[in-house]
Amino acid sequence: MPSHSDTVSKVSFGVFEADLQTGELWKAGRRVKLQSQPFRVLTCLIERAGEVVSRDELQQQVWGPDTVVDFDHSIGTAVNKIRDALGDTADNPRFVETLAKRGYRFIAPVAIRTAALETGISGERYVSDTIDAQAVLVVPRTADAESTSTHQDLPVQAATVTSPKLGVWVVAACLGAVLVGIGGFYAGSRRPGPLPRIERLTRTDWIAPGTPATESLPASATDGLRIFIPVISGGRSVLAQVDVRTGEVQKLPLPSEISSPTLGDLSPDGSTLLLRNHLSPESEQPLWTFSTGGGTALRLANVIAHDATWMPDGKRVLYAAGNRLFISRLEDGTSTPFATLPGRAFWLRWSPDGNILRFTLMDPVDHTLGLWETSRDGRSLRPILSSWTKPSSECCGIWTGDGKYFVFQSDRGGSSDLWRLDGKKIVNPVRVTNGPLSFAGPVTSRIGHRIYFQGVETQSLLQRYDEGRREFVSAPGFLSDANRIEYSRDRQWVTWTDLQGRQWRAKSDGTELIQLTPDSLQVFHAHWSPDGKKLALMAREPGKAWQIYTVAADGGTLEQPLHENRNAADPSWSDDGQSIVFGRIPDIMGKEDGPRALQILDLRTHKQTQLPGSEGLFSPRWSPDGRYIAAISLDQRKLLLFDVATRSWRTLADTTVADPVWASDSKAIFFHASSADMQPIYRASISDGQLEQIANLSDFSGGDTEDYFFCGLTIDNIPIVRSRTGTGDLYTVDLDSQ
């Protein structure tokens, strides 16, 4: 049988597009590297989507009968590379399914890319149950499909093929779409019918993803014509509007009073935005109203909050401060209590009839997210879907205009997808999206059941600063997945936290690599002991508070020198290795009750002593020579220095501060002014406090870096950063198309 790639060039599946003639694979508009041989295997599987392709058939089609290789190994390697490129797994496949002793099957819906498919909102349609407009399909039930219990209850569609050139190809493609379109759904959520058509609305990569770990949820709102949403510009989040017809993105001209806006909600009549001016990392901020038509901003009197929404009457505002909800009247600024909650409320949304308030509850200790609801009088408070995931990870729900659906996001396995509840039900959610991007931040159109949401895949690159070239260049390859890095005092070893939160250790040249922590433990960062024999970690188990752990540099049992039912953070060693200084987490990682000051823990006696004058400080770093302890104010506006001998504090830098790192000789400390324009990295001299700017956002080549964060220093005290080159775009789907 001739290859159908001779007649069909481009196909799409999920957010991927493959050009079968050029051998190119694209994901959400970005090129994905895949070697030629794995691509040929992928082509064979796509051409027979929905069918089992045996290893012998792959051998014949890819390698030919006269090639002598270890086919089992070669085919397995090729399939693994395909899965890596697609972000797929063998245990929970979305694209390539392995059938033991039988072969492989491509299980995602496949669509031929023709002019008929390129007329969506932005010229691209991703998850599609539509094939070439001139090809009407016959889909027979195959024996293989009937023998597979996962798919045996799916309906069969029948019609007549009128396009002989594409007939066999589209039959196979549609077979894959119909028979296995729901194969990746979780148990209990499978249902007949095609997957919904997900269309890409914007093509900028500017959309700013939220970070729930720092109390930042990606809120958006729409007046029916525009979507108001945060975007990244110059390394900072700004507010923009997106045309729902064309996908055009325009920054919203806001007055100087709101230079760092965070979106709360849009008024019921669509005329006024409710904003917070997030000038500092403090969680509670002033509230402002701003007309979508422009003009001046008005501050709500006597209101400081971490989130807010309009009341259904449009004359009052419901806001969250601490673990309480209040109602503020716009006419006189009077606030009255509404409800007391067992956590901090975000993403407050009323049902269309105004009878039910649903919101996201964040626990500042165990960092879980959950959906809750209460009645219009603030009573009858209860969680919904409380045992659906463990630990709970549901958030950011929104009602459709008629109340028929409630759409929310849920994080499972590190990837976020959208689900819906029918009406006011609180059980049996139905999946709306199934990756491979993380989908989040839903907003519904005011009429009908179309929803808009973010599709996020943050692409990042580890880089070090080259002083001679005055630009950032690639860091060593074995550290490519590193997130936070520290070298041992003797410069012989390096440890790092990877993007999945695991801790690793290796020689400085990458040899003798070992994983120090289990996959179940999420590590924020780690620091070497002075003798290089141990590491102190800030880490946590799922659904629990951040804690301090120690582990031998050669691996072994994790130990907890401190046992508290609250968050402990940033452990840093004394120069003799007998004590650790630590602090508490800042507001943006979860505002807890109780005092926040720096503590010194004696590892021999386990006795704690509060560092004098350290109230309101966090992120301590003990200097290598033991003379100083650096720390940051909770609002991240000051870098302070404690002299251990004189037991006194002084301000070293008065600017935005994040991620301080000591130079190896203790004569300077580096930090990232992450909230300042162009996000400079500074070197602060300990002797005289002089600040030297080392690098900033303009030092990245290519011009496509959105922002970055400071990961650590090289052996030679050169900054290492992780730059982000892609954030997200807006996508849309009509819930009635399911």
pLDDT in tens, 364-420: 777 788 999 999 999 889 999 988 888 788 999 999 999 999 999 998 766 789 999
Average pLDDT, the chain: 81
The answer on pLDDT for 121 being more than 60 is: no
The answer on pLDDT for 288 being more than 80 is: yes
Per-residue pLDDT band at 718 (split at 50, 70, 90): very high
Q: Is the peptide bond before 230 cis (omega within 30 degrees of 0)?
A: no
**What DSSP line would sit under 343-356, residue for residue?**
SEEEEEEE-TTSSE
Q: Is the peptide bond before 436 cis (omega within 30 degrees of 0)?
A: yes
Per-residue pLDDT band at 70 (split at 50, 70, 90): low
Per-residue pLDDT band at 726 (split at 50, 70, 90): low
Tell which residue, 499, 457, 463, 441, has the closest CA to residue 727. Answer: 457
Q: What percent of the chain has pLDDT over 70?
A: 82
Residue 501 zone, left/alpha/beta (φ > 0; ψ -120 to 50; rest): left
Dmax over CA atoms of the chain, in Å, equals 89
Q: What percent of the chain has pLDDT over 90?
A: 46
How many CA atoms lie less than 13 Å away from 552 in the CB half-sphere?
4
Per-residue pLDDT band at 279 (split at 50, 70, 90): low
Least confident of 396-405, 450-459, 461-470: 450-459
The answer on pLDDT for 559 being more than 80 is: yes
What pLDDT sits at residue 165?
29
The answer on pLDDT for 557 being more than 80 is: yes
Least confident of 93-102, 272-281, 334-343, 382-391: 272-281
What pLDDT sits at residue 33?
85
DSSP-derived 3-state class of residue 477: helix
Per-residue pLDDT band at 508 (split at 50, 70, 90): very high
The answer on pLDDT for 152 being more than 80 is: no
pLDDT, greater one: 591 or 519: 519
d(CA 544, CA 524): 14
Per-residue pLDDT band at 704 (split at 50, 70, 90): low
How many CA atoms lie less than 13 Å away from 55 in the CB half-sphere?
16
Per residue in 200-232, pLDDT (tens digit) is 898 877 777 766 555 667 788 999 999 999 887
Average pLDDT over residues 451-473: 88
What pLDDT sits at residue 56?
85
The answer on pLDDT for 174 being more than 70 is: no
The answer on pLDDT for 191 being more than 50 is: no
Q: Are 36 and 88 in contact (CB under 8 A)?
A: no
